[in-house]
């Protein structure tokens, strides 16, 4: 990962396992239409696994909310299609829980790009960003059949705790240590 950062915003490139170089950057309000296009190309299964329900389109209001990330309390990164520089192929975000050292984590990758390392690469960058912002714990709410996301979280090699509540796995990652520590 080649990462540039200020105290708030992140951008850089990542090299995927197949050698493809993908740009990532902090999401911006100008990304509203691109985020809606990205969402419109996701399969129903991918949408369900990310949002736990049917959501065939991302409304203007939802897209505006998701693109408003201050880079401190809410950090969101997008991966950009190397062949279509105006198109998003992955999104990862953290939302800090006020008054705590924890943040909720979520990610989604375009179906045709799943399994190429984009989610993992973006997650590594956002874990580092969380640490820089004093966040010591990330938690993700994951459907039990979402093997790709559960595998991605396990591949981070961070100590994790899993609890099962209301049909959803809550996976909490300790960012203060690694499994090897």
**Residues 64-90: tens digit of each pLDDT:** 999 999 999 999 999 999 999 999 999
For residue 134, give Cα distances in angstroms to 6, 26, 56, 69, 114. 15, 19, 36, 17, 30
The whole-model pTM stands at 0.92
- Pair of tokens at residue 143: 């459907």
Q: Is the pLDDT of residue 14 over 60?
A: yes
Q: Are 34 and 89 in contact (CB under 8 A)?
A: no
Domains belonging to the chain, first-starting first, are 2-135 (3.40.630.30)
Confidence (pLDDT) at 181: 46
Query: What pLDDT, on a 0 to 100 scale, did the predictor assign at position 3?
Result: 46
**What does the pLDDT read at residue 98?**
94
User: Per-residue pLDDT tens for 101-135?
Assistant: 999 999 999 999 999 999 999 999 999 999 999 99
Exposed/middle/buried for residue 112 (C-beta within 10 Å: 0-12, 13-18, 19+): exposed
DSSP letter at 109?
E
pLDDT score recorded for residue 103: 98
Whether the per-residue pLDDT at 39 is higher than 80: the answer is: yes
What DSSP string describes 55-87? -SS--HHHHHHHH---SSSEEEEEEE-SS-TT-
Q: What is the mean pLDDT of residues 47-74?
A: 93
């Amino acid at each position: 990962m080649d990462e540039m950062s200020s105290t708030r915003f992140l951008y850089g490139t990542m090299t995927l396992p197949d050698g493809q170089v993908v740009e990532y950057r902090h999401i911006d309000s100008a990304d509203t239409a691109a985020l809606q296009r990205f969402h419109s190309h996701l399969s129903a299964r991918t949408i369900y696994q990310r949002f736990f329900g049917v959501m065939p389109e991302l409304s203007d209001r939802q897209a505006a909310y998701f693109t408003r990330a201050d880079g401190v309390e809410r950090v969101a990164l997008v991966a950009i299609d190397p062949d279509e520089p105006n198109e998003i192929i992955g999104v990862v975000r953290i939302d800090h829980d006020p008054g705590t050292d924890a943040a909720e984590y979520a990610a989604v990758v375009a179906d045709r790009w799943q399994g190429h390392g984009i989610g993992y690469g973006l997650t590594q960058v956002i874990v580092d960003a969380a640490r820089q912002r004093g966040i010591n714990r990330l938690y993700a709410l994951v459907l039990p059949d979402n093997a790709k996301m559960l595998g991605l979280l396990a591949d981070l090699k961070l100590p994790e705790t899993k609890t099962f509540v209301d049909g959803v796995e809550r996976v909490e990652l300790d960012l203060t240590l690694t499994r090897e520590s």
